[in-house]
Structure 1
Amino acid sequence: MVPKVRVPQHAGSFYPRTPETVSAMIQDLLPDNIQPVNNLRALIVPHAGWAYSGRTAARAYAQINPKNYRRIILLAPSHYVAINKLSLCPFDVLQTPIGDLTVDARLRDQLLKEGIASGSEAHALEHATEVHFPFLAWFCSDLPVLPILTGQMSQDDIARAARQLAPHWDQQTLVVVSSDFTHYGNHFAYLPFPVSEAPKKIRALDYQAIRHILKLDAKAFTAFCRETGATICGRVPIQILLQMTTNADTASLIAYTTSAEQTGDYSHSVSYAAISIHPAPYSPDSQQIMLRIARDAIRTVLLHKRVQIPQNLPAELQQVGACFVTLRIGERLRGCIGSIMAHRPLIDDLIGNAIQAAFHDPRFPPLSLDELEETNIHLSILSSPRPVTSPDEIILGYHGIILNHGPARAVFLPEVAIEQGWDLEETLQALSRKAGLPANAWEQATFEVFTTFSFGED
């Protein structure tokens, strides 16, 4: 049987047309300092023209180690053709200027038997899949790909799709979700705030969505989209992915930008984020043990008893580690204390910082027993800090930041900038003030960065 070939529709507009120009542009877009990640499970990657979103997309694709996979599932929204629920790619070959990709016909046949339909017209036209094909041909040309388009779907349909796809998301299957974030301006019929406020408020809006994704909180992300009318074109594929994840997974922000940051035109702006999902470094059981120990330590002090370290702990909790303990009542911060450098067993650091956050954070009075019942505990386990040569190396939302300025020092966890909706300069100004320095002191400071694995009772 003659293979059914999908011919590029957007080469020369969304990305270059010739093999030479495609190869040259990918090489130009690639970051210098990102290494492949061996345990990557999924990526959220933008699908706009490469001139705008290509660098963000390249940072995501640079994390792929193709030797770890046997196939890729590409989930994307349908922009041109109204489809019902999910649509499987009916083509056998996906042409790109730098080589062809093979469609995973075996997986497609399995899903067809499970009741998911295919449709050629939507897949033939769709740019939200096509802009990824040259990247996939560059990074993992030998892997079969199954593009799946989503239409407008009810929450029941989304949950059903997640249940259908989850059994096929094994350790050798990489899921790539194609989505841009906020589309702002008259052209998109989305003007929730004036253009004069757009630079800050677009970022704040996107960071709210990103925060829910980083927490793998499908319900909160869905509610956010409904309440804000967020113009995240791939919100349905993102919802499906989030419902496929478990508490054995975690997420990290790789990069974020907007088209307006490049054009200067905030009256017409599209946002782009690259996000990775990978296995959590601590098992779900260990996470629950740590949260329970933190709460028990605080309660024990409130009851005027001596804190005892539990016996028979998992080995990973007995290794040297550093953590932050954050306490919240509702959305209100109630205490946050932590260690930047690992200097004692993680379990000792956890107990010590839980007690410090509850009773010795100088910003708050000691926690009461009644308050403890309302308090949500959130833990962040830190990597070892490393110096950066320039603030430009800091990735907001991914890196925790340590500012050093003479004897003064201050630290922000990665989520601070996202929660506040700050850009890099605003973040560094706030960090300077936290260190007791003028807002512009960061310009003469040095910086270290770290990453965290965060989880909580919420």
Structure 2
Amino acid sequence: MKMRLEIVPALLGFVFVLVFPAFGRMNAPLDDTDRKPAVAGSFYPADPAALRNMVSAFLENGQKGPLPGTVRALVVPHAGYVFSGSVAASGYNQVRADYPYARVFILASSHRLDLGKASVFTEGDYLTPLGRVEVDREVTAVLSGTRSCFTGDPEAHREEHSVEVQLPFLQVRLNKPFKIVPIVLATQTPSVCRKIAEALKPYFTKDNLFVVSADFSHYPSADDARKADAATAEGFCANDPDRFLDVLRSNARLGLPGLVTSMCAWPAALTLLYLTEGVADLEFTRVDSKNSGDVEPYGDKSRVVGYEAIAVSEREEKKFELSAEDREVLLRIARASVEAAAKAEPLPGLAPGQYAPILREPAGAFVTLRKNGDLRGCLGTFEPRKPLFQVVQEIAAASAVRDIRFPPVRPEELDKIRIEISVLTPRRKIKNIKEIELGKHGLYIEKGNQHGTFLPQVAAETGWTLREFLGHCAQDKAGIGWNGWKQADIYVYEALIFEESGR
């Protein structure tokens, strides 16, 4: 089989690309609008059963997943499957097989053309040995109309392998129907990448998966590749486009023998970073890392290509739930602590091993004491620095004897004291006060060194409006004036609230 070697510009170097013909069809004109497989039989098996078996085996043996939360984007390699298929599979394993993605946006970089913009495929669908992969023509039509940074020119897609090789993994991994938006970036200008990202921003939602098709270092030794790839991956995972570009330049200045680029599809990766920068609650995870030298018996460790799998996921909000038994245990700890404090006795010893795992997790909590329905003491902590059972013990004792608003609880009052515990979820900063739900959210206001809080139940007990809730917290708790919340950082949190019965 003949191969031809092409050289295309890359950031601070050149990329040497081996181009493999498939079925003698690569130079033949397309007989309809669908994009036919260009590298079936060379990069991966052309036989459907063999291809499905190979991909399934890679997925079975790759790094396990899925990641918690929603995977919003992947970076996966696009070399021949024998070299990079295992790393690609590790990336795809992080995606929930049953997640209902409406579309998969595949961001690739051209190895052959420089159009000064991105080419989006609009003429038909992509075909693989596993069948047809439908292109979302509505979206591609909109994007191709953005003439400043997109074109509908199909030439960039005809022989480009980096979109095609991702499709069998998607076809095998995803159980739900999906459409693709294939985009080949035929540009190496960061400002154009930013424009492309701006056009894609409306689509960067939980409904869509973005896949960056990229190999990492090209042609250094295996040892040098590991160093360069680690630096590039860490720069990318910082979610900072400027830092990512700085790392690419820094790698180039190292003068590593044979290194011609740190990432062949860096424009596609940069475009994704322009989408993700500033988006809250995204987590970048390096899932797998290898290079072609690791593949026996084919690998040549003196001249390798690096492969990385990176997942970008939206952090899943961890639910902190307490069973009825857990709550009863905490109330008993609090009761024993209040009684010991009121009698000036040592606090009871607690053995961590006797408590459920959830009670051994660090968490913030408040303990409220009421006597005949009136507040008798209330203290707490937001900082989850100690196990919950220990926090409740210490705060309950402090609420009984250290709340400066009240005299210490006396032993003769104990029968009339009713204990309420509020276990707090982590604080979340808000951008708009409309995010606050009265009765559900506690409030934490912070300005400089001044801060104050109201527990969720305060709004319900007082009947305050939202602005009254904010004003009282800013004025009475944080000490920054009635309207001080307007120039302060505002956080919300929730509380699991439970109390003693029969008192």
| CA–CA distance in structure 2, aligned partners of residues 237 and 129 of structure 1 | 12
Residue in 2 aligned with 1:260? Answer: 293
Cα separation, 2, equivalents of 1:16 and 1:264: 20
Is 1:67 aligned with 2:99? yes
SS in 2 for 1:159: helix
Q: Which amino acid aligns with 1:249?
A: L
Aligned residue in 1 for 2:51: 22
TM value normalised by structure 2: 0.53
Residues in 2 aligned to 1:95 and 1:281: alpha-carbon distance in whole angstroms: 35
Counterpart selection for 1:122 from 156, 171, 176: 156
Q: Which residue of the partner structure matches residue 173 of structure 1?
A: 208
Give the letter aligned to residue 136 of structure 1.
Answer: L
Q: Give the direction of change, closer, same or farther, for the CA distance of 1:184–1:346 in structure 2 (3 Å limit).
A: farther
Work out the CA distance in 2 between the residues paired with 1:101 and 1:227: 39
What secondary structure sits across from 2:52 in the alignment?
Answer: helix
Q: Structure 1: which 4+ aligned runs deviate by more than 6 Å?
A: none
2:281 is matched with 248
User: What's 1:135 paired with?
Assistant: 169
The aligned amino acid for 1:23 is: R
In the alignment, which residue of structure 2 is the partner of 1:51? 82
Q: Does 1:349 align with 2:385?
A: yes
Call closer, same or farther: CA 1:282–1:216 in 2, change over 3 Å: farther
Instruction: Show the 5 A alignment for 1:149-228.
Output: 149-185=184-220, 198-228=221-251
Of the three residues 140, 146, 156, the one matched with 1:108 is 140
3-state SS of paired residue (2:119): strand
Match of 1:4 among 12, 30, 33: 33
CA 259–85 in structure 1, closer or farther in 2 if over 3 Å, else same: same
Deviations 1:208-246 (A, max 9, x none): 111112221211111111232343111111011011112
Residue 205 of structure 1 aligns with an amino acid whose one-letter code is: A
Q: 1:40 aligns with which of 71, 77, 97?
A: 71
**d(CA) in 2 for partners of 1:267, 1:200:** 9
Unaligned 5+ runs, structure 2: 1-30, 253-260, 319-358, 364-380, 387-425, 427-503
Would the aligned equivalents of 1:319 and 1:346 in 2 still touch at CA under 8 Å?
no
- 2:71 and 2:95 in contact (8 A); partners too: yes
State the distance in 2 between where 1:273 and 1:346 align.
Answer: 39
Indicate whether 1:320 and 2:361 are aligned: yes
Structure 1 or 2: larger helix share?
Answer: 1
Q: CA deviation at 1:90?
A: 2.7
Q: Specify whether residues 70 and 211 from structure 1 end up closer, same or farther in structure 2 by C-alpha distance, changes over 3 A only.
A: same
SS at match of 2:305: strand
| SS at 2:85 equivalent | helix
Greater Cα radius of gyration, structure 1 or 2: 2
What do the CA deviations read for 1:369-415 (whole angstroms, capped 9, x no partner)? xxxxxxxxxxxx9xxxxxxxxxxxxxxxxxxxxxxxxxxxxxxxxxx
Structure 1 residue 99 and structure 2 residue 131: aligned?
yes
Q: How does 1:327-342 map to 2 (within 5 A)?
A: none
Give the Cα separation in 2 of the matches to 1:77 and 1:54.
19
Query: Could you tell me which residue of structure 2 aligns to residue 89 of structure 1?
Result: 121
Residue 74 of structure 2 contacts residue 211 of structure 2 at CA under 8 Å; is this kept in 1?
yes
Conserved 8 A contact 2:118-2:187: no
Q: 1:217 to 1:31 in 2, by over 3 A?
A: farther
Kept in 2, the 8 Å contact 1:163–1:244? The answer is yes
Aligned partner of 1:203: which letter? R
Asked if structure 1 preserves the Cα contact closer than 8 Å seen for 2:225 and 2:305, the reply is no
CA distance in 1, matches of 2:199, 2:207: 17
User: Superposed, which structure 2 residues align to 1:348-367 within 5 Å?
Assistant: 348-349=384-385
Structure 1 residue aligned with 2:267: 236
What CA distance in whole angstroms lies between the structure 1 residues aligned with 2:316 and 2:300?
A: 41
SS at match of 1:244: helix
Residue-by-residue CA offset, 1:10-66 (whole Å, 9 max, x unaligned): 001000010111011112211356244451100001000000000111111122234
Whole-angstrom CA distance in 2 between matches of 1:244 and 1:225: 19
* Local SS of the residue matching 2:107: strand
**Percentage of pairs with the same residue:** 29
Aligned-partner Cα distance in 2 for 1:267–1:55: 21
* 1-structure distance, mates of 2:223, 2:181: 37
The alignment of Structure 1 onto Structure 2 pairs a total of residues equal to 283
TM-fit CA distance, 1:153: 3.0
- TM-score relative to the length of structure 1: 0.58
The answer (yes or no) to whether the contact 2:222–2:302 under 8 Å persists in 1 is no
- Unaligned segments of structure 1, at least 5 residues: 186-197, 284-317, 323-344, 351-380, 382-458
Structure 2 SS opposite 1:40: strand
| 1:264 to partner: Cα distance | 4.5
* Partner SS for 2:307: strand
State the shift of 1:200 in Å: 2.8
